[in-house]
Amino acid sequence: MTRILNALGRAKPVEARSVETDFDVDLAKHAFGADDLPIFEEVAEAVPQQLAGVPAAAMTPGSLLAEEFRMLRVKIRNIGEQRPFHCVGLVSAASGEGKTTAALGLALAIAQDRDKRVLVIEADLRKPSIDGYLGLPRVAGLGDWLEEAQGTVTVRRLAPHGFFLLSAGRPAPHRPELLGSERMGRLLEASRRYFDFVVVDCPPLVPVADSVILQDLLDGFIFVVRARHSPRETVQRALSRVKPDRIQGVIFNDYRDLLPNYYNYGYRQYGQWR
């Protein structure tokens, strides 16, 4: 398993074990032609508001935290030299691990290359949060597009950060099965063709199966673990739900003991990860 440098320390590889789970997901793969794929429509730029603490640091070029995400970008690029890896899911065992901040920080780091078009897709249809997280008005998003017969996908370009956002839209606790639909497959295939890199902010693996449904539609997962947050048993249970080759790296978040004192001091003021 690839070992990835995280934003707040260094991660030890987490071994994903193939074990019997309490559900069975059989997701068919589809081949799509250009005529079958949706078209992306870019609307006016959106400016994030009310950013503070760690999110602000992650999305501020030149900050210590942003520099860590640039190093993460290099690690991901190295994986991409060995296998297709430009439609990537950020996943965690439970909520509160720092997954959303990691997704935004990674997108910003990749978008710093001016010729790179980067898209962030919020795939948590049950509890969408990115719009509120960035201080943006909630608009129709992924869930709405999957449910309605629309051909055009509307995305917002975040200024001045340079990446594009497709948020989840209105909460839809009863629509998670849409993530495994052929329509979702067409959207991700179109994303691969239209954007240079796609970051999918996935739902936590425990207790729902939403991200498991997505695993065969993505190039792989980066697993986010926050120190002193989820019990070891919860992390192991989460990893057992996905195929072993789906986890391509681990971000071990908020483990300050591994950092030099000055580095630790610089991050302590930023508060907690989301």
Q: What percent of the chain has pLDDT over 70?
A: 74
Give domain status of residue 27, yes or no. Answer: no
Q: Please compute the mean of the pLDDT values over residues 37-61 and round it to a whole number.
A: 74
Strand partners, 119: 164, 198
* DSSP label of 10: B
pLDDT in tens, 62-81: 667 778 888 889 999 998 88
Say whether pLDDT at 218 is over 90: yes
Kindly list the distances between the CA atom of residue 100 and the CA atoms of 30, 74, 134, 225, in Å, as whole numbers in the listed order.
Answer: 28, 19, 11, 12
Please count the structural domains in the chain.
Answer: 1
Give domain status of residue 41, yes or no. Answer: no
CATH for 192: 3.40.50.300
Strand partners, 197: 118
pLDDT score for 62: 67
Give domain status of residue 158, yes or no. Answer: yes
* Structural domain boundaries, residue 141: 47-268
Give domain status of residue 30, yes or no. Answer: no
pLDDT score for 215: 94
CA-CA-CA-CA torsion for 221, 223, 224, 228, nearest 10 degrees? 170
Which residues, in sequence order, are CB contacts of 195 under 8 Å at separation 6+? 117, 118, 119, 164
| Higher pLDDT pick, 29 / 49 | 49
Give domain status of residue 94, yes or no. Answer: yes
pLDDT in tens, 222-266: 999 988 778 889 999 999 999 989 999 999 877 665 444 434 434
Give domain status of residue 64, yes or no. Answer: yes
Is the preceding peptide bond at 13 cis, omega within 30 degrees of 0?
no
Say whether pLDDT at 174 is over 80: no
Q: Name the average pLDDT for the chain.
A: 78
Q: Are 221 and 91 in contact (CB under 8 A)?
A: yes
Give domain status of residue 106, yes or no. Answer: yes
149 confidence band (pLDDT: 50, 70, 90) = low
The token pair that represents 163 in the structure block: 């990446």
**Quick check: helix, strand or coil at residue 24?**
coil
Give domain status of residue 194, yes or no. Answer: yes
Work out the burial of residue 59: count CB atoms within 10 Å of its CB; fewer than 13 is exposed, 13-18 middle, 19 or more buried: buried
